[in-house]
Chain A
Amino acid sequence: MNAKTLRALAPLVAVAVALLVPLVVSDRFILKVFTFAGINALVVVGLALLFGYAGQVSLGHAAFMGLGAYTSAFCTVELEWPWLLGFVAAGAVAAFGGLILAIPALRLKGYYLAMATLGFGLLMSLAFTEARPITGGVDGFTGIPFPSLGPLEIRSAASLYWLVWGAVGIAVLVAHNITSLRPGRAMRALHGSELGAQACGVDIVGVKVRTFVVSALMAGLAGALYAGVVGFVSPSVFTLTASITFIAMTIVGGTSSLAGPILAAVALTLVQYVDALIPGLPRETAQTIQSYQEDIYGLAIVLVVIFAPRGLAGLWKRRNAGGETP
């Protein structure tokens, strides 16, 4: 099979595999693990646009997820809005947060932008703890209802899985439209050379702002899904560690790619639940892996940056390109 047919078939196969998982996997816990992988993948699709395509780093993306989670929780529990409305509100609030964070991003680059987004993440994580009347403080927000679409309540493990991965599917579709057309070229141009992009008449400010907003929106929606799936939200979820986990998934997955970061998001999520996935695994081994989880992520970043600066996607592309040139 040549590279072209493979490329055409790969998305179909991926969708089919993703859809079939609940029919094959009967263990509810494992299904939940794959649902979490989908939630992470949704955040990472947004980060892939922001970091992988436009080259703008964010070390505060968990904050957008948190904004979405708390907004959804507040709207459904306190305001008793329908879930779907809360979901939309979650996206809107996170997107607004993205707009705010885009302002420093217009002036800062590289390490300085990393520091600014890191500060934003820490600030928001503090706000989640301190804004007790809205967020419930350190104790968290409990009693969040299951997601529902109109009268249809989504509560079984399989349907939650489909809801989350359906959202991922739509996000990938939108992201693919962006990246394959003019906006995606503008993002990659910005990444490649800001001077060159300006000389081509690219609207630098517009590209940065839109990318931040779309990326924050996706993280916010992921947060709302998280709140619905778990039924409980606490500040300990949306920390710096989570932000770094997301950026690790994006870096390992590779630049200028959506498939790579999604695969990396799934793979690195599964590491956290290695004991459930491999039944025969000795307890000590599982515990060792889990306690070194952050080191594994760190090591993955270091290895990727040294040996495959363009990530898994870069390795795959290089292999294919090698076969094509005469």
Chain B
Amino acid sequence: MTLLQVRGVTRRFGGLTAVDDVSFDVFEGTVKALIGPNGAGKSTLFNALTGFDKPDEGSVLFDGEELVGQRPRDTVRAGVARTFQNTQLFEDMTAGENVMVGCQARQRRSFTTAMLRLPGAIAEDREAREEASRLLRLIGVEEWIDVPAADLPAGIRRLVEIARALATRPRLLLLDEPAAGLNATETRELVQTLFRVRDSGVTVVIVEHDMGLVMEVSDEIVVLDRGRKIAEGPPRMIQKDPAVIAAYLGGDEEDDV
């Protein structure tokens, strides 16, 4: 089943077209990678998919629902969670508290309920606490639960941010360069986590520079270059695609006039 339909998404900044008429589909239960050289428009596309930015043209259908024009909060509530290239953890809060904030996406108790400390608010709080420790265990970092985010090593920060995104109970998880700044061991742990996330039924879209990781985890790859989609297909095909090789190695320059 097609979970995400991206159709003709275009985003211009002044005279620059950062994303140019990009279309692709993401099937439920798969891992799709977006790759491309620096400045190819990957992050811009990501922001357009998650409500952090509004594309000038095009449509993004998530399970039949239009995401373009929605606020990030509505996108999250619809079931699309994301992480950031520069991890956006809450530094003064512990790993556990960070994940608990993720649970807020689907919590409904009012401010007044909490202010008066009514039983509903207490119950909700306990659920969030249990959910946070469950997710940190799933990701394999439960021993860091009480450590402030500011004191976490880079690899753990990425994983906690993924746990926080999972706490919103997404059906689609978008990861923006999750392996950036990680060493080999940390990248191995990340790959294990990605498989665990996929096996738990969450569809994943990943922007990544680490080609080894991309080839290992993804079912399909979309290659962007200067805002345009130049190739799409399974990893083996992408590796042999002449247009992709040209874009990465800077082959013939005939379209550079």
Contacts and interface: CB of A to CB of B under 8 A. Distances in A.
Q: Is the interface on chain A under 10, 10 to 19, 20 to 34, or 35 or more residues?
A: 20 to 34
A158 interface: no
Interface stretch (A67-75, A126-134, A141-149, A186-194): A186-194
Nearest to B93: A188
Contacts of A204: 73
A31 to B, nearest CB: 31
B13 interface: no
Nearest to A175: B115
B115 A185 contact: no
B30 interface: no
Given A188-B90, A189-B90, A200-B101, A182 B121 contact: yes
A185 B50 contact: no
Interface string B93-125: 100010011101111010100111100011011
A196 B87 CA distance: 8
Contacts of B97: 185, 188
A201 B73 contact: yes
A48 to B, nearest CB: 14
B157 to A, nearest CB: 11
B114 A193 contact: no
B183 interface: no
Given A185-B101, A189-B101, A199 B76 contact: yes
A188 B115 CA distance: 16
A119 B31 CA distance: 52
A96 B22 CA distance: 47
A182 B107 contact: yes
B104 A196 contact: no
B73 A203 contact: yes
Contact of A192 (B73, B93, B100, B121): B93
B56 interface: no
Q: In this complex, which of A196, A201, A310 has the most chain B Cβ atoms within 10 angstroms of its Cβ?
A: A201
A228 B155 CA distance: 57
Contacts of B50: 199
Nearest to A173: B117
B80 to A, nearest CB: 10
Contacts of B117: 177, 181
A314 to B, nearest CB: 9
A196 B89 contact: yes
Contacts of B93: 185, 188-189, 192
B104 A192 contact: no
B128 interface: yes
A183 B115 CA distance: 9
A202 interface: yes
Given A186-B104, A188-B90, A200 B114 contact: no
Which of B52, B73, B81 is packed against the most chain A CB atoms within 10 Å?
Answer: B73
B114 A192 contact: no
B57 interface: no
B52 to A, nearest CB: 7
A32 interface: no
A182 B109 contact: yes
Contacts of A201: 72-73, 76-77, 102, 104-106, 168
Given A182-B125, A200-B168, 6 more contacts: A177-B115, A177-B117, A178-B114, A198-B72, A200-B101, A310-B92
Interface of A: 174, 177-178, 181-183, 185-186, 188-189, 191-193, 195-204, 206, 210, 255-256, 310
10 contacts: A181-B124, A189-B90, A192-B92, A193-B89, A198-B52, A200-B101, A200-B102, A200-B104, A206-B111, A256-B92
Nearest 6 Cβ contacts at the A-B interface: A201-B105, A192-B90, A196-B88, A201-B76, A181-B114, A198-B72
